[in-house]
Amino acid sequence: MATSEALSYAHDIRPLFREHDRESMMSHFDLFSYDDVRANAEPIYQWLEEGDMPCDGAWPRERVDRLRSWIDGGLLP
């Protein structure tokens, strides 16, 4: 996903996670917590890239790419 605007967790990433996703991953981290997602961004990305997360079906490519862009853009809050 090529974009010239910076992505933020609050505006662009947090809305991608559903309550079901949060509940499923709570034993590892809280997907509704910026600090947790920032600290685990690469493993979260890998799980999404491999289709292992979320547990009820892989994300569309556009969402995975959005997370990658957020990581590459500096993990802004």
Instruction: Write out pLDDT tens, residues 4-28.
Output: 589 999 999 999 999 999 999 999 9
Write down the mean pLDDT value for the chain. 93
In a domain, 30, yes or no: yes
Higher pLDDT residue, 35 or 56? 35
Domain residues for 54?
Answer: 9-72
Number of folded domains that form the chain: 1
- How high is the pLDDT of residue 53? 87
CA 2 to chain centre: 17
In a domain, 1, yes or no: no
- How high is the pLDDT of residue 50? 93
Helix axes 41-50, 61-72, angle to 10 degrees: 160
**Res 63 pLDDT > 90:** yes
In a domain, 2, yes or no: no
